[in-house]
Amino acid sequence: MLVAGITLVRFCGEVSLPEKPAAPPGPTGSSRQLLQAGTASPAVYLDYLSKDAAAAGVRTPSSDDMARKLVYRVDEGRHVLEVGEPAIEIAGLKLRVDRSGESMVLQIDNTTMSDLGYAVTTKLTPNISGCSTARALPFNAMVLTKGGSETRVECVFREGVSLAVTRVETVEVSPLSAWYLSLVPPMMVGIEDRVARGHRSPESAERCSPVLSQAVRSGLESGEIGWRDLVDFYARHRCSTYRFPMTYRAFKLDGERPLPAVSSGM
């Protein structure tokens, strides 16, 4: 019987085997698309909030907390400050110009009861060059803690030169949002390097790219996108993971849109 079986297989064809079952369906799309889908998930966003709050040493906010409208202040008046003159108070900040060694510095104090994201736009008058030769002092160019102050270098000190403050903007932020904003390179929200080059961010394993996209740069230059829009977004999202969507605008109402806010091209 064994010989007959071997002969049958050899001369009458192969023994047919049952078909191999089909492989279970797997994930579709590119790795980038899968990553985008993951970061767009509310559950993943909440997990980031928990991990980041632990890293920052602050309370974990809820999604409703992160979706609240931020208190915004702006002063668009022109204020000329002389070295040694009394401070002025605008948009939740106290501003004073001093001399520190060979540098002209701007002292910025937070007068509110909250951490603040802030931007103070200045111009030397008369306009002079060579300000980058002044040694930058380390400071936080993005956030002022509650009751805190920062000192930033404006230029080399020269007799007869004043500092014109042309615009001041602030937003009140939660502790986690303050930590998020401190990790953002200042140029990402349109702050010029002359005043922001001394920025020091908190120690974090998550590094944020300093590259400003051409679309955002053009939007800032045209006025289509404002500092408020960018800061509002990065106060709610970790900059190492989420990119600013070009359609994003600052919340005007609590819970105006779901979080996280992502674009189709993220």
Residue 13 lies in a domain: no
pLDDT (0 to 100) of residue 209: 85
**SS3 label, residue 168:** strand
* CA–CA gap between residue 21 and residue 66 (Å, rounded): 48
Task: Residue 213: count other Cβ atoms within 10 Å of its Cβ.
Answer: 13
Q: Is position 8 within any domain?
A: no
| Buried-state track 241-262, b at ≥16 Cβ within 10 A, e below 16 | bbbbbeebbbbeeeeeeebbbb
In a domain, 202, yes or no: yes
Query: So what's the pLDDT on residue 31?
Result: 44
Looking at the 3D structure of the chain, how many domains does it have? 1
Which of 232, 226, 79 minimizes the C-alpha distance to 163?
A: 79
Question: Is residue 160, in this structure, part of any structural domain at all?
Answer: yes
Q: Is residue 15 part of a domain?
A: no
| 5 within some domain | no
pLDDT at 3: 47
Looking at residue 9, its pLDDT comes to: 42
Does the structure show a pLDDT above 60 at 82? yes
Residue 80: which domain range? 38-234
Three-state DSSP state, 166: strand
Confidence label for 21 from pLDDT (cuts 50, 70 and 90): low
Average pLDDT over residues 26-52: 74
Phi, psi of 88 (to 5 degrees): -115, 155
Of residues 208 and 256, the one with the higher pLDDT is 256
Name the DSSP letter for residue 38.
H
Residue 33 lies in a domain: no
Q: What is the pLDDT of residue 25?
A: 52
Condensed to tens digits (0 to 9), the pLDDT of residues 177-212 reads 999 999 999 999 999 999 899 999 888 767 788 888
Least confident of 46-60, 115-129, 199-213: 199-213
Percentage of the chain lying above the pLDDT 90 cut? 75
DSSP E strand stretches across the chain: 72-75, 79-81, 88-90, 93-100, 103-110, 115-125, 143-144, 149-156, 162-173
- For the chain, percent helix, then strand, then coil, each to nearest 5? 30, 25, 50
Does some domain include residue 32?
Answer: no
Q: What's residue 203's pLDDT?
A: 81
